[in-house]
Amino acid sequence: MLRDAKRDLNRALKHSPKDYQVMYFRGILNFSLHYFYDAITDFETVIEKSEETNAKYYLARGRCYACLSMFKEAITDLSIAINLNKDLLDVRQDLITIILGLSQQRKVCVPDRRHRARLHGLPEADRTRAGKLHISHH
């Protein structure tokens, strides 16, 4: 199902390669499929070329970096996201999780709570459960 959605997004981008909202959604889909490098590429393009500066772009790319244990980049992007939107409480929790993971030599992956819940069709009340942070020992 997710792979079909990615195929459809790829098709849409062939027809409208400058539709950065579609590219952002493909990045979210790549993240959900654990294609973190592909997701980062999509988010980098959106950040660089979109006329809109949006915290969600940095948030999404920062979470990809965290999943790849690229903590410096993750912290940079999550910090930018907070500076762009002070109401992002989830990001503050993500930063704390990354810092704790670093201090305890753990691998950290911070999923995108909202989009993951939407992709899986979960109701609003279940988003918290869907978005729990994943921490594993190395």
For 32, residues 6+ apart whose C-beta sits below 8 A from its C-beta are 2, 112, 115, 116, 119
pLDDT digits (tens, 9 = 90+) for 97-128: 777 766 665 555 655 544 443 333 333 333 33
Report the alpha-carbon distance of residue 36 to residue 29 in Å, rounded: 10
54: its two tokens: 């949006």
Report the alpha-carbon distance of residue 3 to residue 82 in Å, rounded: 31
Name residue 93's beta-bridge partners: none
Identify the weakest region by mean pLDDT among 4-8, 34-38, 64-68, 124-128: 124-128
Please report the sign of the dihedral spanned by the C-alpha atoms of residue 94, residue 130, residue 132, residue 107. Answer: negative
Report the alpha-carbon distance of residue 138 to residue 45 in Å, rounded: 32
Fold classification of 2-137 is 1.25.40
Mean pLDDT over residues 26-46, rounded? 95
pLDDT range class, residue 130, cuts 50, 70, 90:
very low
Residue 43 backbone phi and psi in degrees, to 5: -65, -35
Q: What is the pTM of this model?
A: 0.70
pLDDT range class, residue 48, cuts 50, 70, 90:
very high
Mean pLDDT (the chain, rounded): 76
